[in-house]
Homo-oligomer: A and B are copies of this chain.
C-alpha cells in the first residue's frame, strides 16, 4: 500500500504528511511491541516503510528484515540505518528461529499465501507469534457513489489477481492462518474513514495512498482493455470527488495475530 506522494514537500506540507503517516502507523501498529532482546523477523520489508515503526515501538528487539529486492533493501538501509539486520532473501529460503514474525502488505502479492504462512510457522519457536497486516480492496466504498469509480478499483483488483496476488486477502486472514496450523488466531479490522473533518486522512489516505495506488495501474488497465481511456478518466475523477467537502471514503485493513503451539508440535 506504500505509494509515492505527489503533492510536494514544502515545510507545512511535510509536517502534515508526518501527522497523517503517524495516524496510519498508529492504526496499523497499535498493539505491536516486542520485548527487548527478542528476535523479530520482518518478511518483505520493501523500502522499510513499516520497519521504522517496528523499531520505534520495540527499541530493544533484534530485527532481521528480508526482501527479495536488493534495490528495495538498499533504500531501506539508507532510510533506517544499520540497526537492522538487512538480508536479501526469499521467505522460503530463511532457515532460522525467531520469537516473532511480522508480515505487512506481503501476502496480497503471493500466489500461495497459505504455503508462505506454513513455512513461516516453522521459523517460530514454540509459543512464538506472528502478526499479519493486509488490506482488502473490497472494503473500499465511498460517497458519492459511482459505477465508474468502482470500475477503476475493480481494474486494480483484477490486475493484482492476474499477477497471482489477491487484493481482497484481508477477509481471508482468519482461514489462512488457521489453515496453516497457527493457534489463537485473532483478526481485527482496522478501519480508515475519511471525510472533510479529517483532512489529514483525506489527503494522506484517500488521495495519497488509495487513489494514487489506483492511478498507478492506469496504463496497464487501459492497455489490457479492461476499460477505455474515457471510462478510466471518469472513474478517477469520481474517486477525487470523494475527497471534496461532501465526500466520504471507507477502507478496512485487517490485522491478525496468532502463535505457534507452545507445546512445540508443528
Residues of A within 8 A of B (CB): 136, 138-139, 141-143, 145, 168, 171-172, 174-175, 178-179, 185-189, 191, 193, 195-197, 245-248, 250, 252
Q: How far does the Cβ of A41 sit from chain B's closest Cβ, in whole Å?
A: 25
B174 touches A197 (CB 8 A): yes
B186 touches A189 (CB 8 A): no
Task: Classify the interface of chain A: helix, strand, loop or mixed.
Answer: mixed
Contacts of A250 in B (CB 8 A): 136, 139, 171, 189, 252
| Pairs of residues from A and B, 7 with the lowest C-beta to C-beta distance, nearest first | A175-B246, A174-B195, A143-B171, A138-B141, A189-B193, A171-B248, A189-B191
B136 touches A175 (CB 8 A): no
Q: A141-B136, A171-B248, A172-B248 are in contact. Are A186 and B197 (CB under 8 A)?
A: yes
Tell which of B143, B171, B187, B248 touches A142, judged by Cβ atoms closer than 8 Å.
B171
Q: How far does the Cβ of A106 sit from chain B's closest Cβ, in whole Å?
A: 19
Give Cα A94 to B15, complex, Å: 48
Q: A171-B248, A179-B246, A191-B191 given. 15 additional CB < 8 A pairs? A: A139-B139, A141-B171, A143-B171, A143-B175, A145-B171, A171-B250, A172-B248, A174-B246, A174-B248, A175-B246, A178-B245, A178-B246, A188-B193, A189-B191, A250-B252
Give Cα A221 to B178, complex, Å: 37
